[in-house]
Amino acid sequence: MSLVFNLTLITIITLNAIAIILHTVPSINRQHERLFRDFELFSVIFFTVEYVLRLWVCVENENYHHPVWGRIKYIFSATGIIDFLAIFPFYFTLFATDLAVVRILRLFRIFRLFRVTRYSHAFKVIQDVLVDKKEELILSVTFVVFMLIIVSSIVYYVEHPAQPDIFSSIPATMWWGVNAMTTVGYGDMHPITPLGKFLGGMAAILGLSLFALPTGIIASGFAEHIRAHKAPVKHRCPHCGKEF
């Protein structure tokens, strides 16, 4: 029963994601406008019913067992908010015109995609490792952001006189900086002075090296997780039969 419901839910979430994506292609949207509208209506009804039912039964979970406060707590939980945001924009548009903000709110339905991954055993393992290494990973990203600010500030002062329109401010230079340090390199802006090029090269090497940190942290996290969850080896002496 539960399996059938979950499979149905995964199918509808996936179809919703596909509909949201294809809906933006003008030629497809024009051809299947009716289909998109009907599927939207069906989805909203389905998700509304699901939302109401979850709100009804959530008191059985001991985290939300109080009939009033438990349900209010559920409404403001992460799951509750995402579920609400998936249906809210539709009802909002019944009373309002089609605003840009509504379209973006609609995107929250896509976050439901991640629910699909919950049914996998590997999800638990990856989550455990990431939670366990949370502090180191946050610090690594903080390092990256700090180095980005420092690198961009220095390169701004070096390149601004040579290219005042392109390296126009530190925030503008940070767009270059993040693409240099993550090695994206769109080519829309890059240093042209010798010192700027030298610093740009350093930034790329530094960036790639900094991203070695989270990789190393995650690798050791997985190794640790495996060791911690392995059944401890029991030794039994084959000569006298005793365990130790």
- Shortest CB 98 distance to a second copy, Å: 13
| 243 beta partners | 236
**Distance of alpha carbon 165 from alpha carbon 212, whole angstroms:** 34
| Tokens of residue 37, six digits | 């509208």
Between residues 34 and 242, which has the closer beta carbon with respect to a second copy? 242
**Distance of alpha carbon 55 from alpha carbon 155, whole angstroms:** 54
- Shortest CB 72 distance to a second copy, Å: 28
Between residues 8 and 209, which has the closer beta carbon with respect to a second copy? 209
**Distance of alpha carbon 12 from alpha carbon 49, whole angstroms:** 14
Nearest to 189 by CA among 208, 168, 216: 168
3-state secondary structure of 165: coil
Give, rounded to a whole angstrom, the gap between the first and last alpha carbons of the chain. 47
- Residue showing tokens 């350093």: 202
- Shortest CB 138 distance to a second copy, Å: 7
3-state secondary structure of 236: strand
Between residues 60 and 186, which has the closer beta carbon with respect to a second copy? 186
Between residues 91 and 114, which has the closer beta carbon with respect to a second copy? 114
**Distance of alpha carbon 169 from alpha carbon 148, whole angstroms:** 14
| Tokens of residue 45, six digits | 């009804």
Q: Where are the beta strands (DSSP E) in 84-220?
A: none
Between residues 36 and 59, which has the closer beta carbon with respect to a second copy? 36
Between residues 14 and 61, which has the closer beta carbon with respect to a second copy? 14
- Shortest CB 99 distance to a second copy, Å: 11
- Shortest CB 63 distance to a second copy, Å: 26
DSSP 235: P
- Shortest CB 66 distance to a second copy, Å: 34
